[in-house]
Chains A and B, each alone.
Chain A
């Protein structure tokens, strides 16, 4: 594998009323299948250590996480270099099951937002009532004109995942939304 792997916008950072940075390389695997299947949840917990997440939730164990994306789709988060192997492991464990896997690590970009004002920042660009989101929640929505998934990691810590092709758009958008002094104070 190439040694020159880079994330979408390496080391991109911005200090607004919240801290914004590109999160770097992140392993991501899309799993589509019957989430009610016992074999599937067993294979996942053996490979990642995470329990199957409930609707719109994330379960985390160490550096692995499972995120509920839709009634038949999970996003598996893992270290970037472990993703190809994890796909192979899971494909073997799920052979014969109604499930498909795809390593989408390099098709996405991840941004990290830290600070108590993250709700105010994201409320400017997404049609979501952010008071309903708590740590461990996931919300798929749009950020201005592009699709985004918002992962709430902690009370003041969220990640925004978007397609890599719109990473620059997303970064510029988040920069504008988090510009110092532009906090709408909706949630504080």
Chain B
């Protein structure tokens, strides 16, 4: 079971109260962009074993989107942070490095 804390309303709830929204921090490539960029934006996802950044929505609660850093194998949650963030915040990265010294970092 995955326990997430919504940064918008402060509630810590279990997975069924949330709706998953796929990988976080995607950069959009729209009309006019190179085909490879567009293909990568549309279809290619990291899908890692281990540290992952995801979008979640507090569907049954406040209804807001937020981002979460978690481990896809152990389900350990490193932290959640507001959706208005273009890359993982420094304190979350610090925490992940602390817990997973061999993590190659966010790229």
Contacts and interface: CB of A to CB of B under 8 A. Distances in A.
B75 interface: no
B42 interface: no
B33 to A, nearest CB: 33
Given A127-B16, A127-B17, A142-B16, A147 B11 contact: no
A184 interface: no
B61 A140 contact: yes
A69 B17 contact: no
Contacts of A127: 13-14, 16-17
Interface of A: 55-56, 69-71, 73, 127-128, 139-142, 147
A141 B16 CA distance: 10
Nearest to B12: A129
A70 B9 contact: yes
B62 interface: yes
A70 B14 contact: no
A141 B13 contact: yes
B17 A71 contact: no
Contacts of B60: 140-142, 147
A69 B14 CA distance: 19
A49 B92 CA distance: 42
A55 B9 contact: yes
Nearest to B8: A71
B82 to A, nearest CB: 10
B63 interface: yes
B17 A142 contact: yes
A140 B13 CA distance: 11
Given A55-B9, A56-B9, A71 B64 contact: yes
Interface in B73-107: none
25 contacts: A55-B9, A55-B10, A56-B9, A56-B10, A56-B11, A69-B62, A70-B8, A70-B9, A70-B62, A70-B63, A71-B8, A71-B62, A71-B64, A73-B62, A127-B14, A127-B16, A127-B17, A128-B13, A140-B9, A140-B60, A140-B61, A140-B62, A141-B13, A141-B60, A141-B61
A141 B17 contact: yes
A71 B61 contact: no
Contacts of A140: 9, 60-62
Interface string B31-64: 0000000000000000000000000000011111
Interface string B1-31: 0000000111101101100000000000000
A70 to B, nearest CB: 4
Top 4 closest A-B pairs, CB basis? A70-B62, A142-B60, A140-B61, A127-B14
